[in-house]
Amino acid sequence: MSRFFADRALGMKASDIRELLELTQRPEIISLAGGLPNTNAFPVKEIAEICQDILKNDSHKALQYSATEGIRPLRMALLDYMKDQLGVGGEVDNLIVTTGSQQALSLISMAILNPGDLILTTAPSYVGGLGAFRSYQAEIDSVAQDNEGLVIGSLEDKLKELKLKGIKPKMIYVVPTFQNPAGVTMPEKRREEMLELAIDYDVLILEDDPYSRLRFEGEEVKPVKYFDYEGRVIFLGTMSKLLSPGLRVAWMHSPRDLSRKFAIAKQSADLCSTTFSQYIAYEFLNRGYLMPHIEKIKTMYKRKRDIMLAAMDKYFPEGLTWTYPQGGMFSWVTMPEHMDSKLILMRAIKEDNVAFVIGSAFYHDGSGKNHMRLNFSHSSDELLEEGIKRLGTTLKKEMEE
């Protein structure tokens, strides 16, 4: 049936690890693969209470269509939250509620990308971002990343090189805090320098921030958006990792002209995000439940991070290094150059019943084979330790051969 596909659909490829990851659903497999919150982190009691109240008092609104940009009380509450938590001000026109941040990535792509437009990102970068840009036929190029996120010298060199070739990238895409996949965070100085370069070369910045509130230790770092004095940063926030990904409530905070266009794009995508979920998120914020809840899950995730890192020290063979995330959900493992995480994953699933995500999924050009992403938020404490132990066994076998 491929003759019926649009040109852009030809560029949409199922990930070559999808089948492998399907195997990870088998009950005997311990999966360190998904980027999922822990199910014990869902505030079921509070959500049940809120749902009952909404159905009793507001069902006529909550079960109805709502404004494309989102219900106004939630937009106002999210603006307050951004001001309090991130130091970022704004007007209601700057903020649109989206159906997950993943929708924001698509809407931005829909509204600003022509086929062949260039996006710059880090290597590695969030796989869902790469997918959204690709599905709108963008070209993707990458700049280096180290333990402090995007390397400014590498970005500057890339921008200069492109300018000499007459190529102007449209946007720089970053996950600057507790990055998915590497868990690393850009210091403020780099954020400011990146913004200055974006201004010099007239490029937009897309700041994707699902994880910054999940900081277990270390100094707070201000978002790139905080430094955005002239309005070229689009900021994405989401309730997925703080409250529940099933609600699909997220938001984008953008300069007003862009915001207007994104709202038009959203109209054709889904008319509005689920009204009921928006009321739940609003009430969760309004009743003051969010911040205490975040404190609770931070305690849980810090413990899990510590369990995972200690187990890696104990069970992983010599010759591997990994990141030490101060928050978020992931650690990123680097193996010797010759090792191929796809082969290791196949072996880990078949022989040792454990799974992770291979490094190359996060590289636009399929490189990064000697890396793997490990998630510590989803598994129980016991399975987390056992999963790392099993993976250590696979890695030792692989290295001995």
Ligand X SMILES: Cc1ncc(COP(=O)(O)O)c(C=O)c1O
List residues binding ligand X (CB under 6 A).
35, 100-102, 126, 128, 175, 180, 208, 210, 238, 240, 245, 250
Contact 191, 222 (CB under 8 A): yes
Q: Which of 211, 228, 258, 242 is nearest to 95 (CA)?
A: 258
Coil, strand or helix at 318: coil
Minimum gap (Å) between residue 250 Cβ and ligand X: 4
Nearer to ligand X, 124 or 245 (CB): 245
Q: Which single residue is written with the structure tokens 């959204």? A: 132
Contact 205, 223 (CB under 8 A): no
Minimum gap (Å) between residue 367 Cβ and ligand X: 20
Nearer to ligand X, 98 or 360 (CB): 98
Coil, strand or helix at 104: helix
Minimum gap (Å) between residue 328 Cβ and ligand X: 9
Nearest position to ligand X, beta carbon: 100
Minimum gap (Å) between residue 373 Cβ and ligand X: 11
Stretch (H or E) spanning 330: strand 330-334
Nearer to ligand X, 35 or 169 (CB): 35
Phi first, then psi: give them for residue 121, nearest 5 degrees: -145, 180
Nearer to ligand X, 100 or 149 (CB): 100
Minimum gap (Å) between residue 338 Cβ and ligand X: 29
Nearer to ligand X, 97 or 263 (CB): 97
**Cβ of 207: how many Cβ atoms within 10 Å?**
26
**Cβ-proximal residues to 76 (8 Å cutoff; 6+ apart), any chain:** 92
Minimum gap (Å) between residue 100 Cβ and ligand X: 3
Contact 46, 268 (CB under 8 A): no
Nearer to ligand X, 82 or 175 (CB): 175
